[in-house]
């Protein structure tokens, strides 16, 4: 599966997520909507070992969302990202599967960073912002 890293020259403007302080160490993730290969998808960002990480909320085993409660991805020991469906375990730092039916696969990474107290994600060739509807002014009636 392709890695969804930043795409130089693709106008990867920072997309604000939340205050960086809202993402506490090994705490609840922030969920956000994106377009993955042009299709609606959900992504999540969390803090692990002090660093922000973000991935598409899609298991590498079966393409379903993984959280056992909205924004809850980590196991009881707060060590692994665990898929709530069949228990696949992923390394939070890099998204690689470390156990379960997803072995040798990985989560689709979303580039995320914190700047001036703000957590932001960065679009790539594969992961784009959701375009909100543009409401155009109606043509003037005759
Ligand atoms: S769907 Fe995630 S482990 Fe099977």
Q: What is the pLDDT of residues 40-64, one digit of tens each?
A: 999 999 999 999 999 999 999 999 9
User: What confidence score (pLDDT) does residue 136 get?
Assistant: 52
The pocket around ligand 1, CB under 6 angstroms, is made up of 59, 61-62, 64, 66, 83, 85-88, 100-102
Structural tokens at position 83: 């898929």
- Confidence (pLDDT) at 139: 54
Of 7, 33, 40, the residue nearest 111 (C-alpha): 7
pLDDT of residue 103: 82
Q: Which of 102, 104, 107, 108 to mutate to test the pocket of ligand 1 (most atoms within 8 A of CB)?
A: 102
109 touches 100 (CB < 8 A): no
The ranges of the chain with pLDDT < 50 are: 1-11, 137, 140-142
Contact at 8 Å (CB) between 134 and 75?
Answer: no
Phi-psi category of residue 78: left, alpha or beta, with phi > 0 → left and psi -120 to 50 → alpha: left
Write the burial class of residue 16 (CB in 10 Å: 0-12 exposed, 13-18 middle, 19+ buried): exposed
Is residue 32 a contact partner of residue 56, using CB atoms and an 8 Å limit?
A: no
């Amino acid at each position: 599966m392709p890695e969804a890293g930043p795409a130089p020259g693709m106008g990867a403007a920072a997309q604000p997520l939340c205050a960086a302080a809202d993402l506490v160490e090994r705490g609840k993730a922030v969920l956000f909507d994106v377009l993955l290969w042009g299709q609606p998808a959900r992504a999540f960002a969390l803090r692990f070992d002090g660093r922000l990480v973000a991935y598409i909320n899609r298991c590498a085993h079966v393409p379903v969302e993984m959280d056992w409660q909205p924004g809850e991805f980590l196991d009881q020991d707060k060590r692994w990202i665990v898929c709530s469906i069949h228990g696949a375990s992923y390394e939070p730092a890099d998204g690689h599967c470390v156990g379960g039916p997803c072995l040798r696969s990985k989560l689709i990474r979303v580039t995320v960073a914190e700047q001036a107290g703000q957590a932001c994600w960065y679009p790539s060739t594969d992961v784009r912002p959701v375009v909100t509807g543009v409401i155009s002014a109606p043509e003037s009636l005759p």
